[in-house]
Chains A and B, each alone.
Chain A
Amino acid sequence: MTAPLWPQIKAVTGRDLSRERRSGEVAWVTIPFGAIALLLIPLAVGADIPLLRRIGPGLFWAVVMLFGILIAVRRTAAETGAQRDLVALLGIDPAAGFAGKAVASAVLLVGFELIVGVVAVLLYDIDLTRWPWLLVIVPGVAIGLALLGTLTSSIAANLDSGAALIPFLVAPLSVPLLLGATQALDPLRPSNGILPWVMLLLAVDLVLAIAGVLTARPLQETR
């Protein structure tokens, strides 16, 4: 008999985090790759400290979006037909499968944001006056990107060009998340203007979560 929903979510999350622990792809490839990107940009735009301090936060979030996509879609996009069949025959509820994958991706993305964020603060001398909002925005962006990546990967699953197609689909759709994060933390924005952008971020997360759960079963059956 299949287990209740919560143990299924835990099992899927544990599987994906174990796969990352074994492969080390996020820790040893994606995070350093993101850090390198932050290093390369000043070489391209010039080492103007005030300029870099001003654009630093935006560059950080852009790196999170573009490289975070790789974390959010990598596992699902690389899933084989045999693995999908196994998951179906184990009786894992598709919504639980979706949630488990998204949770694992979100955990990895939070780690990515924290480590690359430290690099960004050090390299760009970013002002952290509004750091308490980061306690909501960092996980909010991670959850949104994880949900978007998992949902889009499900939409493009089983397609021949899926692995290349999925980041192309995710990147422009992640714009509301990017806007929510960058606008909320814009130093020129008055304090009472931050909350609407945070609400946008959380609203996008909620919409994506609902969309993912509702479409999980029919997408699993789509060939």
Chain B
Amino acid sequence: MSQVRGPISASFPSDREARTDVTDSPVVALDDITVRAGASTILRGVDLVVAPGEAVGVFGSNGAGKTTLLRVVATLWEPSSGTGAVFGTDIAGPGRYDVRFRIGMIGHIPALYPELTLRENLRFVARVRGIDDGEVDRVLTAVGLANAADRKVVDCSHGMQRRSEFAREMMLEPDLLLLDEPHAALDPSAVELVNHLAARVTARRGAVLIVSHDLERAGDVVSRTERIEGGRFA
């Protein structure tokens, strides 16, 4: 996969070094995962392995279970049956709290506080993680939001909100990046952000999992695609 270069990536600070704990063990390993909610089954017998350095695209129609799959991998939704591991840690076990900080997720609904400014949202994240406030300004500049940093989220367009989430993940540098419909609401220049972010993670021997309808745009980023229909991989 080629390195994506452009004004945005060129302005970003130097990459974090590759993970020193990397082995060839899968970053994500799901085995026969089933997820039920009440009387409905959302995922049925899903198997998925994502190796270090891989970016996997999962495509499917509405209601196929893509977002649920992402939340299971993020250890935010305990499966009804089956086994799964992220970084070798059981996704349903007590150890899952200790790996969550290595996971970054950008969902299709922004995880932002609407009353706060873009900068304040990122500062909150920085303070939780002990990151210097200067990083906040650097990442906002990198994604092209320097002039909008003091705008409240509620006053920002969906595209701007999405960019700020990319800025957040740039700052946090997760080892596993989960993206739900990442290209939605992004203009062509901002699409480069998705590619850049994914490339940074895989270059560090992390992994990326993208769920999307947009096979064409996501195809630039991923090294492998899977199709999910009716709650299982086709």
Where the two chains meet, the residues of A that have a C-beta atom closer than 8 Å to any C-beta of B are: 1-3, 7-8, 10-11, 14-15, 18-19, 22-23, 80-83, 85-86, 88-92, 217, 221, 223
Contacts and interface: CB of A to CB of B under 8 A. Distances in A.
Interface string B37-66: 000000000000000000000000000000
A19 B115 contact: yes
Contact of A11 (B77, B112, B127, B152): B127
Contacts, number: 77
B130 A3 contact: yes
Contacts of A86: 105, 111, 125
Contact of A22 (B74, B78, B116): B116
B192 interface: no
Interface stretch (B5-13, B95-103, B195-203): B95-103
Given A83-B111, A85-B74, A2 B129 contact: yes
Contacts of B77: 223
Interface string B140-182: 0000000000001000000000000000000000000000000
Question: Chain A: interface secondary structure?
Answer: helix
Interface of B: 71, 74, 76-78, 97, 100-101, 103-105, 107, 109-113, 115-117, 120, 124-125, 127-130, 152
B109 A2 contact: no
Most chain A Cβ neighbours within 10 Å, of B103, B104, B109, B124? B124
22 contacts: A1-B129, A1-B130, A2-B101, A2-B128, A3-B127, A3-B128, A18-B124, A19-B113, A22-B115, A22-B117, A22-B120, A83-B112, A83-B113, A85-B71, A85-B76, A86-B105, A89-B101, A89-B103, A90-B125, A91-B101, A91-B129, A221-B78
A92 B127 CA distance: 11
Nearest to A10: B127
A89 B115 contact: no
Given A22-B115, A80-B109, A223-B77, A3 B103 contact: no
B124 A89 contact: no
A3 B129 CA distance: 5
Contacts of A15: 113, 116, 124
Most chain B Cβ neighbours within 10 Å, of A10, A18, A92, A217? A18
Most chain A Cβ neighbours within 10 Å, of B111, B127, B128? B128
Contacts of A83: 111-113
Given A2-B101, A2-B128, A91-B128, A82 B74 contact: no
A89 B99 CA distance: 9
A104 to B, nearest CB: 12
A23 B97 contact: no
Contact of A88 (B76, B107, B120): B76
Contacts of A81: 109
Contacts of B74: 85, 89
A82 B107 contact: yes
A7 B104 CA distance: 21
Contacts of B152: 22
Nearest to A20: B115
Given A18-B120, A23-B115, A80-B109, A8 B103 contact: no
Contacts of A82: 107, 109-111
Nearest to A83: B111
Contacts of A91: 97, 100-101, 128-129
